[in-house]
Amino acid sequence: MKLYFVAGEASGDARGAELMRALHRMRPELQFMGAGGPKMHAIAGGEFFDWADHAVVGLWDVLRNYPYFKRQFARMLKLIGELRPDAVILIDYPGFNLRLASAVRERLPATRIIYYVSPQVWAWNRGRIPRMAKTLDLMISIFPFEPPLFEAHGLQSVFVGHPLMETIPPREARAPREKRLAGLFPGSRVREVRRIFPIMIAAAREMAKAEPDLRFEAAAATDGTAESMRELLRAAGHDETWCPVSVHTAHDLMQRASAGMVSSGTATLEAALFGMPFVILYRVAWLTWVVAKRLVTVEHIGMPNILAGRRIVPEFLQDDAEPRRVAAEMLHLLRDANAREMMQTDLASVSARLGEPGAAERAAQAILGLLARAA
């Protein structure tokens, strides 16, 4: 049995690798192929294209890189047609993957198409769900409120829990918090870091003026983003004695910091699961922001706030991501123990809604169950 995977960025690569390992444990004879990142490539082997480093964020970045994505789309569709896999498993990356799903359905009507980490169409385009129901055979969701939205339109969906639950240590095993430490988490993509990290640096500088004994540390997702962060620190007149930058240390820093500045995205859920009080920052290209303002229908952008149904974490978006305002909110969290405790209580409530560990295993079971019924 052949399974063709497509993941488009680092987080999708991690989810895909977890799913591949779970599927292999259950069915060692499965053949994996497709496109993703280094973690998936290491498991799949030869018939796999590593392209996750080319991930972009926002409409403007997509338009600038359109020829590249058009080539990859045609390449993958041609290969899927030649390989004729038993199933195509698409992981997140909706701008690319939903279009690919439609093209695969048209070319190979009998092929099962499965989506893992459902696109957040409930936030920006619920009208797309009926079209997805005609294209997809199964939607595997990681948030509990999603399956009813999809099933109302005839799209089979299952909630498996959030994959992050696998990586978060028990509360009693965590490091104690350092009272004067603030963490900076500017995101996983270089373009994202270049827009957001300067704001964080400027906010930290304002904080240091008010509280000179504060310390700062920054977590980078890759060596490439770490180097960009160090360049931005030097451009702002600082070095790593003022704010050390380290790679793959986000979880450690989220355990130790008393408060943090976090770029919107998966890191906001990680911060919630670790119980770190924080603020959310996000800034995108002007064109992306204009389009998003017209499309997005949810009141909040941070997933902890969406899950809570109210703003439990302050959000500083686009022009509101102003260093002095961010610094003032961070100082409030660092100075006020009651404010930190209240946010931690709210974050714990959100974390409880994300299910139990074992998301990849439950996703693998759902996929194999679908394929068994189709045989």
Total count of domains within the chain: 2
Q: By mean pLDDT, which of 58-67, 200-209, 314-323, 324-333 is the weakest?
A: 58-67
Res. 344: pLDDT tops 90: yes
Regarding whether 214 and 339 lie in a shared domain, the answer is: yes
78-87, 252-261, 281-290, 302-311: which range is least confident on average? 281-290
Residue 63 belongs to some domain of the structure:
yes
Residue 166 domain-assigned?
no
CATH of the domain at 211: 3.40.50.2000
Q: Are both 181 and 150 inside the same structural domain?
A: no
268 and 250 both lie in a single domain = yes
Q: Which pLDDT score, from 0 to 100, does residue 348 have?
A: 93
Rounded CA Rg of the chain: 21
329 and 365 belong to one structural domain: no
Percentage of the chain lying above the pLDDT 70 cut: 90
Count of CB atoms within 10 A of residue 210's CB? 13
Residue 39 lies in a domain: yes
pTM, rounded to two decimals: 0.81
Q: Is 351 helix (H, G, I), strand (E, B) or coil?
A: helix
Q: Do 304 and 228 fall into the same domain?
A: yes
Check whether residue 130 and residue 225 sit in a common domain.
Answer: no
304 and 333 co-located in one domain = yes
Q: Closest Cα partner for 36 from 87, 97, 86?
A: 97
The verdict on 33 and 89 lying in the same domain is: yes
pLDDT over 70 (residue 186) = yes
pLDDT (average), residues 120-149: 88
Better-scored residue on pLDDT, 187 or 120: 187
Domain match, 101 and 153 both: yes
pLDDT tens digits along 315-341: 998 889 999 999 999 999 999 999 999
Query: Do 187 and 86 fall into the same domain?
Result: no
User: Does residue 150 contact residue 132 with C-beta atoms inside 8 Å?
Assistant: yes
Give the residue numbers spanning the domain of 93. Answer: 2-161+358-374
Q: Are residues 200 and 219 in the same domain?
A: yes
- pLDDT for residue 170: 64
86 and 157 together in one domain: yes
Q: If you write DSSP's letter for every residue of 94-116 in order, what string do you get? A: HHHHHHHHHHHHHH-TTSEEEEE
- In this structure, is residue 204 part of a structural domain? yes
